[in-house]
Structure 1
Amino acid sequence: MASMTVQKTERPPSGPTDVLKSDGEQPKDPGKARFRATALTPYLLLLPAIAGTLLLLGWPLVNNGLISFQNLNMRQFILHLTEWNGIDNYKDVLGDEEFWRVTGRSIAFTAINVVLIMAIGTLVGLLLARLGKKMRLLLLFGLVLAWAMPIIAATTVYQWLFAQRYGVVNWVLAKLGWSSMAEYDWMGGQYSTFFVIITLIVWQSIPFVAINLYAATTTIPKELYEAAALDGADAWKSFKNVTLPYLKPFLFATTFLEVIWVFKAFPQVFAINEGGPDRLTEILPVYAYIEGFGNQHYGMGAAISLLTIVILLSLSFYYLRLVLKQEEDEL
């Protein structure tokens, strides 16, 4: 009887459980790989911004920190000498009464500006919500022009406006009957100089607050105002119970941004009068610049600038804590 050879045919795989690699391992699930790629996408998109931030802000901050621990004046700078002096610069700064006077002045300056900016900006934003279409467009156009003007250009305009002999402000005041203001020197005193600077900063900042607040009011459902009117609520109650709760997150965030922006308002203060008269209008950024570059104490200036960052972060943290605490109390 002839022998017969029986060939065993392989059964094709019927499902995922039958598909095996030659080494016996299960293949990777394409769904998991796709999910992993999707999860990593936001971080990959953030990489260019993070790299740019580290390059443009991180390294200068580290370099500034290294300089703050050095005795770096013009001699060391020219001869390329590195003289480490530990925390002597910080001791000298923190032990100087002038630093604490400038710090208190900076905090008061920031508080006054932020209160005026938020109050006037909020009123202008609410006015935009009430105006008709044509008047709203006209006011928005004026706000955008004020907002778009470069800082130094706006500062130069204000220097002309408040000039002692040919300034428009003195001319208008003299025409209105205040003849003693005909040649008033606005830059000759501490408070008058601060008045000009505060007016400039408030004028530059109002458009940001007003336009964003108006945009926030457009998100409030009109049905809420109709329901409030049916309940007999007047304009103030409608604002208090409907408008204000919707605008609170915006007001908190905008106040936080304005604190940061005003606290580091170097261009306006320096360009108006370089911190004068007699250095009485210096705030911390101007004080750091004058001590560092003006007096050629670069290590001292670096220490002041880092302390300025610490103070700003402390103020920001304190404000955020108040906001979070208030939100918790409302829940």
Structure 2
Amino acid sequence: MASTSVQTEKVDTGPPADGRTSAGPHSGPARGRHRLAGTAPYLLLLPAVAVTLLFLGYPLVKNGMLSFQNLNMRQLIQHATEWNGVDNYRETLTSDKFWQVVKRSVLFTAVNVILIMVLGTLIGLLLARLGNKMRTLLMFGLVLAWAMPIIAATTVYQWLFAQRFGVVNWVLDKLGWHSMADYDWTGSQFSTFFVVTLLIVWQSIPFVAINLYAATTTIPKELYEAASMDGAGVWKCFTSVTFPYLKPFLLATTFLEVIWVFKAFPQIFAINEGGPDRLTETLPVYAFVEGVGNQHYGMGAAISILTILILLGLTAYYLRIVLKQEKEEER
């Protein structure tokens, strides 16, 4: 029996009568929607970028222009502009006082950040182990400390450490340290920095503790169960399970605390205005005293620009660490 094969030919009927063509994935409307989806994130960021440029960009440019001027009270009253090039920067960078303040600022920042991160981490881990009632009570206290305005908190610490009627001196006197009854906490460099450090650490711990507790809630419980079955103790569970998960958070939080402490101004200035004898001035306070206090506005602007450059250097160093960590994780 002979088999016959029937072949059908595809007949080209040509374009539709109305002249339209079928739309593929790369046609005009689809391409337009793809472009809109690609530019949507940038459009959403545009208002924030515009506000940032308006409220931060313009003052920064204005401050940069002032740093190249000889602007004192006389020029300010006469509305005179006297450009002096890089003289303000040259005088600042060749000043021993400036480099002393830089070293003091770095040391002050390092001590504060270490205390903040260690105590904040311990309290955050404590929050993860407490019951619901105690956790809520502790978090309520942390939020109150965190929400307290800076100047209000500084005023409270001034009352606590007041020389004659301060609560701290009264308590120390009652505990047997009678020499502390009238102790002047702002009379020396070390004691002034002690009060300021206590204030800044107290204000910063809630941010670290609450966020670290939130980060611990993302760690799968199965990992702890597996570590316990392998015989891991508390320290081994922390180093092998908790710390690897919290490492990105700790790096980011440490970087934020470095910036926040390094540029701290109200606490130091309100406690003792950088005294005694300008021995507790950090870079922000030093820029204010030189610029506004001594009416050398161009010099103060130059110091503030140098402070920003130091912070940018710290930012670049942090980004380098993050990128290096991401490459190691990809491997």
Q: TM-score, normalised by structure 1?
A: 0.92
Residues of 1 paired with 2:231 and 2:280: CA distance? 51
Q: Which moved further from structure 2: 168-177 or 313-322?
A: 313-322
Residues of 2 paired with 1:321 and 1:196: CA distance? 34
Residues of 1 paired with 2:64 and 2:318: CA distance? 26
1:206 aligns with 205
For structure 1, the residue ranges without an aligned partner over 5 or more in a row are 1-9, 19-26
User: CA 1:11 to 1:72, structure 2 compared with 1: closer, same or farther past 3 Å?
Assistant: closer
% identity of equivalent residues? 73
1:255 Cα deviation after fit: 0.3
**Deviations 1:256-279 (CA, angstroms, capped at 9, x unpaired):** 000000000001100111000110
SS in 1 for 2:197: helix
User: CA 1:28 to 1:173, structure 2 compared with 1: closer, same or farther past 3 Å?
Assistant: same
1:312 Cα deviation after fit: 1.5
1:317 Cα deviation after fit: 2.0
**Deviations 1:89-139 (CA, angstroms, capped at 9, x unpaired):** 111101110000000000000000000000000000000000000000000
2:21 aligns with 16
1:120 aligns with 119
How many residues are paired up?
314
SS in 2 for 1:105: helix
2:3 aligns with none
Residues of 2 paired with 1:11 and 1:214: CA distance? 64
**Deviations 1:186-218 (CA, angstroms, capped at 9, x unpaired):** 000000000000000000000000000000000
Letter in 1 for 2:285: V
- Counterparts of 1:308-323 in structure 2 under 5 Å? 308-323=307-322
2:178 aligns with 179
User: CA 1:17 to 1:135, structure 2 compared with 1: closer, same or farther past 3 Å?
Assistant: closer
1:320 Cα deviation after fit: 3.4
**Deviations 1:12-58 (CA, angstroms, capped at 9, x unpaired):** 2486169xxxxxxxx96211111111111111111110110111111
1:308 Cα deviation after fit: 0.5
SS in 1 for 2:98: helix
1:237 aligns with 236
1:319 Cα deviation after fit: 3.5
Residues of 2 paired with 1:125 and 1:158: CA distance? 25
Kindly report the root-mean-square deviation, in angstroms, between the aligned alpha carbons of the 2 structures. 1.7
For structure 2, the residue ranges without an aligned partner over 5 or more in a row are 1-14
Confirm whether residue 162 of structure 1 aligns to residue 161 of structure 2.
yes
Confirm whether residue 110 of structure 1 aligns to residue 105 of structure 2.
no
1:55 aligns with 54
1:262 aligns with 261
Residues of 1 paired with 2:88 and 2:172: CA distance? 48
Residues of 1 paired with 2:318 and 2:35: CA distance? 38
User: CA 1:315 to 1:14, structure 2 compared with 1: closer, same or farther past 3 Å?
Assistant: closer
4+ aligned runs moved over 3 Å, structure 1: 322-331
Residues of 1 paired with 2:118 and 2:16: CA distance? 80
